[in-house]
Structure 1
Amino acid sequence: MRKIRYLFYVLIFILIYSFFIEPFSVKKTDLHIDVPNLDLKIKIVHITDLHMYKYIFFHEKILDKIKEEKPDIILYTGDSIIKNTDKNDLNKFFKKLSEIAPVYTVYGNWDYYNIELVNNVYNKNNIHVINDNTINVFFDNFSIKLIGLPIYKKISYVDTTESNYTIVLEHIPDTIFYNKEVFDQANLILAGHTHGGQVYIPFITKFFIKKYSFYLKGKINFKDNKIMYINRGLGAWFNIRFLAPPEILIITLN
């Protein structure tokens, strides 16, 4: 009887933690990359999967943590909304985000539920959409090529112009493997979508999620010093997370 009672207490604790504590925590992850011929330090923040309903203290917390880093640019890999997102609150978040540093983004699958709303907020706040497109960002004489992959299809045009460093933005991790030309020139690939499993139970979560993504979370090393990073994201379905806390990735190019 005592064991059943303890089990009940543990279950209650896990539920409270999963619904009311972990979803509102924010963990920073550092990724340091040595880049040949780079004479300065470039700091990049990567975030993804906002899934905002209403602007609350949690979003203020996210913005404060990003602001602390003083990034040169912010890269965002989509899924800003859910079905009932408050437009004014979404606008408030991206207005404050764009005041920290220039923001470059691609669309996530949820954004297509109301792409007009998403575009309206992005346009109003000078959020640079590079979905199915390429842009070069310069830091003195050092150029970073940003390639934005669309979901569910190959990129329309592959820009092979040389740059010092190439970062690919995609929402769904697997997309890069259907764009071999982009993969070949990429140095760093940033993705989201998986929420790190959201409820992460070792081995079990990975087994169930593998049909949606080859990789679940974190850093993956490929040959030729090519790196992919799958961010756990910020929002969550049904506002539940367990052993997969919201994440802000801090990338430092040295």
Structure 2
Amino acid sequence: MRFIKRLIIGFVMVIILGICLYCYARLIEPNMLLKKSYSVTVPKDVKELKIVFFTDTHFGKYYPQEKITRLVDFINEQKPDVVIFGGDLIDSYNRDQELVNIEELSKSLKKIKASYGKIAVYGNHDYGGGAEPIYEKVMTDGGFKILRDSELTLSDLNLSIIGYDDYLLGSVDPNRYQLPDAPFRIVVTHEPDVIDNIKANGSLLVLAGHSHGGQVTIPFMKGVLRPGAEKYIKGQYDLKETITGCDATMIVSEGIGMTLKPFRFLNPPNIVVVSLKHK
């Protein structure tokens, strides 16, 4: 009888634990919004500044558009000099058209304030799911400059930013991976594994997303790995050995929203704040 009683108690505890984990991953963690801060050393001729990087909002079925108000306010609280969006604005435009008002989305994005400009790149969901015809308009109406295998020079900051087209569904020019010599530049790419193709000299800061950090991560496991984010999943990476002759750092964000399933576990939504500082 004691064995049966213990078995029943154990079974009930497992069920309770399962319910608690489900509620946390479904209702609590997805509604968080955190800040991850990093500091990167830059040459003295590059102006010290603050960058806010956010990515993978996936507005739609699993992450309602109404949450953008809190996101915009949180970004503005950081008083950024430059704001960069890493792609995947809407989860599936064809499926979620009734849930996403693109005009209101642009108006909300326009409220994001940045002293020296706002920049965006394409993600795979900005091509797939029918989003390609509207993504550029939404972002440009929101005050963002889209970089698509192109480079933007902010002369006042002595800073160059390269944005790659989406690696999976875009049309990346392989020649763009060979970067001309420069003391320091920023590279923005949706898929982080692209970094293994880059050749550069000087110093480099790479900002990427796509992985969601695995979105649902079981301890001691990597979570759900996505093509283009199987090697670099989340956090900061020292790439000195990856890009020979280059002092390179990459930061991979877990992003904001969700895709495939409405769960996050051990990967709370966050924005990335990078302070560029002199030694």
Retained in 2: the 8 A contact 1:45–1:71? yes
Shift of 1:176: 2.4
The 5-angstrom pairing of residues 102-251 of structure 1 reads 102-112=117-127, 113-139=130-156, 142-150=157-165, 151-152=167-168, 153-155=171-173, 158=176, 163-178=182-197, 180-181=198-199, 183-184=200-201, 187-205=204-222, 209=225, 212=228, 213-223=230-240, 224-237=246-259, 238-251=261-274
Shift of 1:88: 3.0
Q: Given residue 69 of structure 1, which amino acid in structure 2 is its aligned partner?
A: Q
* Structure 1: runs of 5 or more not aligned: none
Greater Rg, structure 1 or structure 2?
A: 2
Q: 1:7 aligns to what? A: 14
Distance 1:216 1:34 in 2: 23
Shift of 1:242: 0.3
Retained in 1: the 8 A contact 2:182–2:202? no
Shift of 1:13: 0.8
Q: What's the CA shift string for 1:104-153, capped at 9, x where partnerless?
A: 011000001321111121222221001111111133xx411111112245
Distance 2:52 2:74 in 1: 10
Q: 2:86 aligns to what? A: 77
Q: Given residue 131 of structure 1, which amino acid in structure 2 is its aligned partner?
A: R
Distance 1:184 1:40 in 2: 20
TM-score normalised by L of structure 2: 0.81
- Note closer, same or farther for the CA distance 1:156–1:91 as it changes in structure 2 (3 Å cut): same
TM-score normalised by L of structure 1: 0.88
- Note closer, same or farther for the CA distance 1:199–1:160 as it changes in structure 2 (3 Å cut): closer
Distance 1:110 1:144 in 2: 29
Q: 1:253 aligns to what? A: 276
- Note closer, same or farther for the CA distance 1:41–1:131 as it changes in structure 2 (3 Å cut): same
Q: Does 1:55 align with 2:74?
A: no
Q: Given residue 124 of structure 1, which amino acid in structure 2 is its aligned partner?
A: D
Distance 1:145 1:164 in 2: 10
Shift of 1:36: 2.7
Q: Given residue 215 of structure 1, which amino acid in structure 2 is its aligned partner?
A: Y
Q: What's the CA shift string for 1:46-80, capped at 9, x where partnerless?
A: 11101112422x32222122111100010111000
Shift of 1:211: 5.6
- Note closer, same or farther for the CA distance 1:62–1:126 as it changes in structure 2 (3 Å cut): closer
RMSD over aligned Cα atoms: 2.2
Retained in 1: the 8 A contact 2:119–2:145? yes
Distance 1:240 1:100 in 2: 31
Count of residues in correspondence between the two structures: 247
* Structure 2: runs of 5 or more not aligned: 1-7, 241-245
Retained in 2: the 8 A contact 1:133–1:157? no
- Note closer, same or farther for the CA distance 1:100–1:188 as it changes in structure 2 (3 Å cut): closer
Q: Given residue 60 of structure 1, which amino acid in structure 2 is its aligned partner?
A: T
77, 84, 89: which one aligns with 1:68:
77
Matched residue SS, 1:239? coil
14, 23, 26: which one aligns with 2:30:
23
